Amino acid sequence: MNKIHENWSEIERAEELAREKTGDPEAGFNASTFWFGERHLMIPCLYRKKKGKKGQEVFTKSYSEIMLYAKYCPFSGKPLYEDV
């Protein structure tokens, strides 16, 4: 996928605000993730798993995390890649 770099400006602005507020020069989305090639935007989504017998399931108290790949900027709604 080819990035549309100008549509990443809102993401970069949010990351800059996070760096200013925290004082951490490396703060940002997926800051701990190593990418081969260009960086992408993954958004964490928390959910609770079900446990118990079928028909009697209940949600766990603890949350799990799933990472969602963002094709559009969550702040501006603009596409982040050319083929979207």
Range of weakest confidence among 3-12, 25-34, 37-46, 60-69 = 25-34
Looking at residue 23, what is its pLDDT?
Answer: 92
pLDDT at 84: 58
pTM listed for this prediction: 0.63
CA gap 81, 16 in Å, rounded? 22
pLDDT digits (tens, 9 = 90+) for 35-52: 777 778 888 888 999 899
Question: Using an 8 Å Cβ cutoff, are 44 and 67 in contact?
Answer: yes
Structure tokens at 38: 């260009």
Residue 73 near residue 1 (C-beta atoms within 8 A): no
Q: Are 28 and 13 in contact (CB under 8 A)?
A: no
Angle (nearest 5°) at CA 80 between 41 and 4:
125
